[in-house]
Amino acid sequence: MKLTVAAAQLALKDGDEAANLATARQACEEAAARKVELLVLPELWLSGYDLEHARELALEPDDSRWDAIAALASDHGLTVAGSLMVREGHGVRNALVIFDRSGHRVARYDKLHLFPPGGEVEHLAPGDSVQVISLGPGAAQAGDLDGVGLAICYDLRFPELFRALRGRGATLILLPAQWPHSRLAHWSLLVRARAVENQVFLVAANRTGRDGAIRYAGHSVILDPWGEAIVEAGDPAAVLSATIDLDSVAQVRARFPVWGDRRIDLFGAGQT
């Protein structure tokens, strides 16, 4: 199955939802012009990393802002994935939410690993489940899209999560992020490691630009199952796109069947 995917590398403004929504809309317009089917936006793309105001900025279940977000997908005929602050009861979660081409919410993953130096543990509640999803024909022109693993930013540092994603059938992993420039070397190393060790396509959409004292790394990338960059950005804002053949994952795994050589007697099967 061939799928045209994109990563939107955006310069966001913390707390300025109107500006960020306009920026995301421009990225959707560019992606649609390229016939993209699945677009990944950065982590917390609507609010920016304004955790001090998480409760005010987070979306409630019946929030009218959901309509504007859904319109990014439906107005441009593409599936849109990106993380948002979502409030449920007394807690706020960092949730990767996916809308299909018709603007329907079809999947959600709550970030498992919260980043203590960024204040996430004070303002957010962690998720509690690994998500490998199947998206119906409303997500891709070629039909059902299966084996999509979901992760967010700091999750990248936890290889056991990505092992679990592969163990549950992931062939494509989506990773929105707000990774800082000060740890760019770690970003470049870890996205490649997660792709090659699990033999998956990986679409990593990172924030760029500066807000306050923090400079973001950019360098969004789409990687193949060998860990090779199909397309990669530098620092400027950009929309990266590529057509990937998900059937090639099976070919890579058959050619180099490392998964079968795991010592699951010692380390487990990587499925939890």
CA nearest 84: which of 92, 94, 75, 76?
A: 94
Q: What is the dihedral of CA 8, 10, 13, 16, to 10 degrees?
A: -30
What are the residues facing 145 on neighbouring strands?
Answer: 135
Residue with tokens 């300025």: 16
Euclidean distance between CA atoms 92 and 87, whole angstroms: 4
43 is catalytic: yes
Distance in angstroms (rounded) separating the CA atoms of residues 92 and 84: 10
Catalytic residue list contains 28: no
Query: Around 209, how many Cα atoms within 13 Å sit in the side-chain half-sphere?
Result: 17
Catalytic choice (37, 43, 120, 232): 43
The tokens for 68 are: 């504007």
Active site residue 111: yes
> Comparing C-alpha atoms, which of 113, 80, 84, 114 is closest to residue 96?
84
Instruction: Report whether 68 contacts 21 (CB < 8 A).
Output: yes
Of the listed 153, 160, 197, 228, which one is catalytic? 153
Active-site annotation holder among 37, 111, 120, 232: 111
Q: How far is CA 266 from the centre of its chain?
A: 31
Catalytic residues: 43, 111, 153
